[in-house]
Amino acid sequence: MSNAQLYLAIGIPTLAILIGILLNVVQLNAINARFSSMDSRFSNLETRFSQVETRISNLETRLDARFNNLEAKFDILIGKVIDLDNRVTRIEAKLDIR
Protein backbone atom coordinates (compact mmCIF):
# COMPACT_ATOMS: atom_id res chain seq x y z
CA MET A 1 0.00 0.00 0.00
CA SER A 2 1.47 3.33 -1.07
CA ASN A 3 1.41 6.58 0.83
CA ALA A 4 -1.24 8.02 -1.50
CA GLN A 5 -3.53 5.07 -0.86
CA LEU A 6 -3.03 5.46 2.89
CA TYR A 7 -3.79 9.18 2.71
CA LEU A 8 -6.93 8.48 0.66
CA ALA A 9 -8.02 5.67 3.01
CA ILE A 10 -7.71 7.99 6.00
CA GLY A 11 -8.53 11.33 4.34
CA ILE A 12 -11.81 10.51 2.54
CA PRO A 13 -13.66 9.15 5.64
CA THR A 14 -12.26 12.02 7.74
CA LEU A 15 -13.44 14.53 5.15
CA ALA A 16 -16.88 12.88 5.05
CA ILE A 17 -17.12 13.07 8.84
CA LEU A 18 -16.10 16.74 8.86
CA ILE A 19 -18.68 17.54 6.16
CA GLY A 20 -21.31 15.67 8.18
CA ILE A 21 -20.41 17.66 11.30
CA LEU A 22 -20.63 20.91 9.33
CA LEU A 23 -24.05 19.99 7.94
CA ASN A 24 -25.28 19.10 11.44
CA VAL A 25 -24.13 22.49 12.75
CA VAL A 26 -25.95 24.24 9.90
CA GLN A 27 -29.13 22.25 10.63
CA LEU A 28 -28.91 23.00 14.35
CA ASN A 29 -28.54 26.72 13.61
CA ALA A 30 -31.62 26.59 11.37
CA ILE A 31 -33.59 24.80 14.08
CA ASN A 32 -32.39 27.33 16.66
CA ALA A 33 -33.57 30.17 14.41
CA ARG A 34 -36.99 28.53 14.16
CA PHE A 35 -37.20 28.23 17.93
CA SER A 36 -36.25 31.90 18.28
CA SER A 37 -39.04 32.75 15.87
CA MET A 38 -41.47 30.68 17.92
CA ASP A 39 -40.30 32.43 21.11
CA SER A 40 -41.18 35.81 19.64
CA ARG A 41 -44.56 34.49 18.52
CA PHE A 42 -45.27 33.15 22.00
CA SER A 43 -44.21 36.49 23.48
CA ASN A 44 -46.73 38.20 21.21
CA LEU A 45 -49.41 35.73 22.29
CA GLU A 46 -48.55 36.27 25.94
CA THR A 47 -48.89 40.03 25.44
CA ARG A 48 -52.25 39.60 23.74
CA PHE A 49 -53.54 37.31 26.51
CA SER A 50 -52.35 39.83 29.09
CA GLN A 51 -54.29 42.56 27.29
CA VAL A 52 -57.40 40.35 27.17
CA GLU A 53 -57.02 39.59 30.87
CA THR A 54 -56.78 43.32 31.62
CA ARG A 55 -59.87 44.05 29.55
CA ILE A 56 -61.83 41.30 31.30
CA SER A 57 -60.68 42.60 34.70
CA ASN A 58 -61.82 46.11 33.77
CA LEU A 59 -65.15 44.75 32.55
CA GLU A 60 -65.59 42.83 35.80
CA THR A 61 -64.88 45.99 37.80
CA ARG A 62 -67.40 48.00 35.80
CA LEU A 63 -70.04 45.28 36.12
CA ASP A 64 -69.49 45.06 39.88
CA ALA A 65 -69.95 48.83 40.15
CA ARG A 66 -73.14 48.68 38.09
CA PHE A 67 -74.57 45.82 40.16
CA ASN A 68 -73.71 47.64 43.38
CA ASN A 69 -75.45 50.75 42.03
CA LEU A 70 -78.46 48.67 41.03
CA GLU A 71 -78.53 47.01 44.45
CA ALA A 72 -78.53 50.43 46.13
CA LYS A 73 -81.41 51.54 43.94
CA PHE A 74 -83.39 48.41 44.81
CA ASP A 75 -82.73 49.04 48.51
CA ILE A 76 -84.10 52.57 48.10
CA LEU A 77 -87.12 51.23 46.19
CA ILE A 78 -87.82 48.56 48.80
CA GLY A 79 -87.57 51.21 51.54
CA LYS A 80 -90.09 53.42 49.73
CA VAL A 81 -92.48 50.48 49.26
CA ILE A 82 -92.21 49.68 52.98
CA ASP A 83 -92.90 53.34 53.83
CA LEU A 84 -95.91 53.32 51.51
CA ASP A 85 -97.18 50.11 53.10
CA ASN A 86 -96.78 51.66 56.56
CA ARG A 87 -98.75 54.72 55.48
CA VAL A 88 -101.55 52.60 53.99
CA THR A 89 -101.65 50.51 57.16
CA ARG A 90 -101.98 53.67 59.31
CA ILE A 91 -104.71 55.06 57.04
CA GLU A 92 -106.56 51.75 57.24
CA ALA A 93 -106.20 51.78 61.01
CA LYS A 94 -107.57 55.34 61.27
CA LEU A 95 -110.46 54.61 58.96
CA ASP A 96 -111.02 51.24 60.61
CA ILE A 97 -111.13 49.53 57.21
CA ARG A 98 -109.62 46.23 58.22
Q: What is the pLDDT of residues 42-85, one digit of tens each?
A: 999 999 999 999 999 999 999 999 999 999 999 999 999 999 99
Spatial CB neighbours of 9, under 8 Å, sequence gap ≥ 6: 1
pTM of the entire predicted model: 0.55
The answer to whether the CB of 92 falls within 8 A of the CB of 98 is yes
Q: b/e map of 69-98 (b: 16 or more CB within 10 Å)? A: eeeeeeeeeeeeeeeeeeeeeeeeeeeeee
